[in-house]
Chains A and B, each alone.
Chain A
Amino acid sequence: MSGVGLDPKTAPTFPMAAKAMLGDTQLRKNVRHATDVIQEKRARVVGEMPDWQELREAGRQIRRHTMEYLDFYLEEFEANCTRAGGVVHWARDAEEARGIVVGLVKASGSDQVIKIKSMTTEEIQLNSALEAAGIHPYETDLAELIIQLGEDRPSHIVVPALHKNRQQIREIFQREMKLPELGERPQDLADAARMFLREKFLRVKTAVSGANFLIAETGGVCVVESEGNGRMCLTLPETLITIAGIDKVLPRFQDLEVMLQLLPRSATGERMNPYNSIWTGVDAASSGDGLRDGPRVFHVVLTDNARTEILADEEGRQTLNCIRCGACQNACPVYRQTGGHAYGSVYAGPIGAILTPQLQEMHHAQSLPYASSLCGACYEVCPVKINIPEVLIHLRNKVVKQNTAGVAGLFDVEAGAMKAMAMIFRSERRFRAAQRLGRVAERPLVRRDGQGEGWIGWLPGLLGGWTQARDLEEMPKETFRDWWERRGRDGN
């Protein structure tokens, strides 16, 4: 793959990139169609569940509890995984993680790997490191294959190629797979991918995967997928290397009963995705038919890469609860207008707006916390109830602080406004009031980017259409300014 990964360090700021994306009407059409379809499916299968809110609450508590005792659960996972024949590695940052994986692939004796779609490998830009070491990575998820062959970049956590339509995909496959006669029905395209990859699945001896969950109690790993490419990679090769953020731990096997209900319904709008694989270490051939099942060598690379920074931040910490379902992206009016590339990071949409700057320790991607209308749609759909608006406000505050260190006082008004916004988002009642005032509430927060353009100003304008599509419960009874001043007087 020679497509350059999305790197927040070098990406243009969100407003700059977003402006360019807004000019691409085909992309916007594709993104809108895809997100409409998933949202509709999600709403239907979530509506079937009488206990959805109870599941969300349990999901939130399980994730919060895990972060609270993360050291305990990481050590427990390591001990149990090791006992089952796995080898656990630890990586402080992306560079170290890349080095470990490259070393393990080389040790496996292969100069090719088959890969399951994994956000963590994108995050650490593993593919270019593998290529630099003379190892060819084959993406096996259909969407990732489209992106790899098209030298493109992912634009969504769950459906990374949703910005491409069938004609565009067909052109890429015709060219790269040398299939001039290829039809354009989705089935034709899937068949071409099946043919193209089957040979790799049967031949390549080393695989790299991510993980949806690491189960501390058993040392097991869980991967959730649809196509079967995941099972191919997990089952057929001799060596399997799984790379996972330290935030992926789940305390007990039983906790999957919550996650396996929340994740598929939120991610793809299915009651359960076609395949979930759970495996524990390497199979010791001690059970069942006495035949070995799966890889002989299994490694897990536990990667920090700034997650402990996020953990240390009391207000930003809930970001780590994310189970990467992508529901917040589909629901976000800003993402739906700009697509994923504008975020300059593999994590796009609302979760990207809070996760990316923190993964960069707030040194890059500072414009992302502003890439939101604070409408609260992301919070509503999040299966583990991450209060994304609250974290956005908190991060805006941090950006201001970071930028004003040394120029004390210059941004006081803005900092003050943001503190107030933070308070609003901590109270549901205040949040609802502010939501009604959404567009106006943004005004005090308008800021100028490096190029001197005031740009929050155009986002609400751009999103004017959104307020037409969504119910504003009632017209504001008073102006934002009145309300703001009265708030100050009443002292609440």
Chain B
Amino acid sequence: MATDMVTNSRAEVLRRVRAARGGTSDGVAVRAGWDGIAREYRRKGTREREGLLALLEDRLRDYDARVVRAAGEGVGQSVAKRLVERGVRRMVVPVGLPVEWMPVGWLPASAGEVEFVVDEGLSSEELDDVDGVMTGATLAIAETGTFVLQNVAGQGRRAATLVPDYHLCVVRAEDVVETVPEAMGRLQETAGLATTFVSGPSATADIEMTRIKGVHGPRSLDVILIV
């Protein structure tokens, strides 16, 4: 009976759609129609590498994120500095985070001033108990100040980058694109993965249109740009 109703609803909604549009859509026409959509907007950015990175930094700062550049061994040092600045004691990291990004001597866990906890399936409560999370990113979009996280090694589960109060994201300069279309082009192949676009820390403007940081997601965000 219930199944009947469900099947009927599906058939009925589709029947109504087809009646409204004068028949069943033909796959070839659909494809041709989609290909015919005018896309005269900008697809590719025009900036040189330095201009591109400067734009990303500017946009990220505009969203109240802190951004620094680092290279080679400097990455680990830069991470250490950020964590001390932020007063972080326990940091969760995803499986597959590049070891060379970690502060020297801070592995294994709690060898340094900060204890690193590898997320091997922490519960939400356990995640609520750590101070911050550190991840890489699939890519970053300069024009909008966005980085993109996916469910792949080094970027972790969505919950891990959500529940802790602080997020430190490491982005490689070669993964920075200028425009949204360039980003979507790169993401096309892995479109089926859980994907999160992050632009600045959690924020709301619901109270008198004043921008308030950190409502439910991370309250503070640092980005280290590897050049």
B175 within 8 A of A: no
Nearest Cβ distance between residue A274 and chain B, in whole angstroms?
A: 5
Q: Chain A contacts of B217 at CB under 8 A?
A: 227-228, 231-232, 274-275
B196 surroundings in chain A (CB, below 8 A): 231, 275-278
A359 interface hit (Cβ, 8 Å): no
Which residues from chain A contact B204 at a C-beta distance below 8 Å? Answer: 142-143, 190, 226-227
Selected from A50, A61, A246, A283, the residue in CB contact (under 8 A) with B151 is A283
Q: Is the Cβ of B40 less than 8 Å from the Cβ of A57? A: yes
Interface flag for B226 (CB, 8 Å): no
> How far does the Cβ of B6 sit from chain A's closest Cβ, in whole Å?
7
Kindly specify which of B75-83, B84-92, B99-107, B185-193 makes contact with the partner chain: B185-193
Contact in complex: B19, A272 (CB < 8 Å): no
How many Å lie between the Cα of A194 and that of B6 in the bound state?
A: 39
Interface centre among B20, B24, B181 (most CB of A within 10 A): B20
Mark each residue of chain B from 18 to 39: 1 if its CB lies under 8 Å from any CB of chain A, else 0. 1111001101011001100111
A256 contacts B128, C-beta separation under 8 Å: no
- Nearest-Cβ distance from residue B178 to partner chain A, whole angstroms: 12
Interface 9-residue window, one of A285-293, A412-420, A467-475, A484-492: A285-293
Contact partner of A275 (CB less than 8 A), chosen from B151, B184, B197, is: B197
- Residues A71 and B157 in contact, CB atoms below 8 Å apart: no
Interface centre among A30, A91, A228, A311 (most CB of B within 10 A): A228
Kindly list chain A residues whose C-beta atoms are within 8 Å of the C-beta of B24. 71
Q: A71-B24, A84-B192 are in contact. Are A272 and B146 (CB under 8 A)?
A: yes
Which has the most chain A C-beta neighbours within 10 Å: B124, B197, B214, B216?
B216
Q: Cβ of A65 < 8 Å from any Cβ of B?
A: yes
Answer whether residue B132 sits at the interface, using C-beta atoms and an 8 A cutoff: no
Residues of A within 8 A of B153 (CB): 288-289
B33 neighbours in A (Cβ, 8 Å): 65, 68-69
Q: Which of B125, B144, B163, B215 has the most CB of A within 10 A?
A: B215
Residues of B within 8 A of A271 (CB): 59, 143-145, 199
Query: 1/0 per position for A359-377, CB-CB distance to B under 8 A?
Result: 0000000000000000000
| A72 partner, pick from B27, B180, B203, B205, beta carbons under 8 A | B27
Asked whether A148 is an interface residue with its Cβ less than 8 Å from the other chain, the reply is no
Q: Are B158 and A231 in contact (CB under 8 A)?
A: yes
- Given B38, B150, B151, B216, which contacts A228 in the complex, CB threshold below 8 Å? B216
Give the nearest-CB partner of A308 in chain B. Answer: B16
- Report which of B9, B63, B124, B156 forms a contact with A289, defined as CB distance below 8 A: B156
The residue that A291 contacts in the complex, of B13, B121, B128, with Cβ under 8 A, is B121
Structural contact, A289 and B96, CB atoms closer than 8 A = yes
Chain A residues lying within 8 Å of B27, measured Cβ to Cβ, are 72
Return the contact of A187 from the options B192, B212, B216 (Cβ within 8 A). B212
**In the complex, chain A residues 236-279 whose Cβ is within 8 Å of any chain B Cβ:** 236, 246, 251-254, 256-258, 260-261, 268, 270-279
Q: Which of A120-128, A197-205, A348-356, A441-449 contacts B (4 or more CB under 8 A)?
A: A197-205
**A273/B199 in contact, CB under 8 A:** yes
Quick one: CB contact mask for B137-170 with A, threshold 8 Å, 1 for yes? 0000101111000111101111100110000000
Residues B14 and A254 in contact, CB atoms below 8 Å apart? no
Proximity string of chain A (219-238) to chain B, C-beta cutoff 8 Å, 1 when within and 0 when not: 01000001111011011100
Q: Among the listed A69, A75, A89, A236, which residue makes an inter-chain contact with B159, where contact means beta carbons less than 8 Å apart? A: A236
| Cα–Cα, bound, A91→B202 (Å) | 34
Q: Is there contact, CB below 8 Å, between B37 and A287?
A: no
Residues of B within 8 A of A7 (CB): none
Is there an interface contact between B20 and A142, defined as CB atoms closer than 8 Å? Answer: no
Q: How far in angstroms is the closest Cβ of chain B from A332? A: 17
Query: Least Cβ distance of B63 to chain A in Å?
Result: 8
Report A73-115 CB contacts with B as 1/0, cut-off 8 Å.
Answer: 1110000000010000111100010000000000000000000
Q: A119 at interface (Cβ–Cβ under 8 A)? A: no
B207 touches A92 (CB 8 A): no
Give the docked Cα–Cα distance between A434 and B186 (Å). Answer: 47
The stretch that binds B, out of A18-26, A32-40, A321-329, A393-401, is A32-40
Is there a chain A Cβ closer than 8 Å to B95's Cβ? yes
Q: Are A74 and B14 in contact (CB under 8 A)?
A: yes
- A217→B29 CA distance, assembly (Å): 16
A224–B9 alpha-carbon span in the complex (Å): 29
Q: Which of the segments A158-166, A174-182, A384-392, A424-432 contacts the partner chain?
A: A158-166
In the bound complex, how far is the Cα of B196 from the Cα of A378, in angstroms?
31
Write the chain B residue with the least CB distance to A253: B191
Select one of A62, A72, A279 contacting B194, CB under 8 A.
A279
Q: Are A229 and B215 in contact (CB under 8 A)?
A: yes
Can you list 28 A-B contacts with CB-CB less than 8 angstroms, sorted by A residue number? A61-B37, A89-B9, A143-B206, A165-B208, A169-B207, A198-B128, A201-B216, A227-B217, A231-B217, A232-B217, A251-B34, A253-B187, A257-B184, A258-B39, A260-B197, A274-B217, A275-B197, A276-B196, A283-B194, A287-B151, A287-B152, A288-B156, A288-B193, A289-B96, A289-B120, A291-B121, A304-B16, A311-B17
List 3 A-B pairs, minimum CB-CB distance, nearest first.
A228-B217, A308-B16, A312-B20
Question: What 11 additional pairs, Cβ within 8 angstroms, besides A70-B17, A294-B194?
Answer: A34-B209, A62-B37, A65-B34, A68-B33, A228-B218, A235-B162, A257-B181, A257-B185, A271-B59, A274-B202, A287-B152
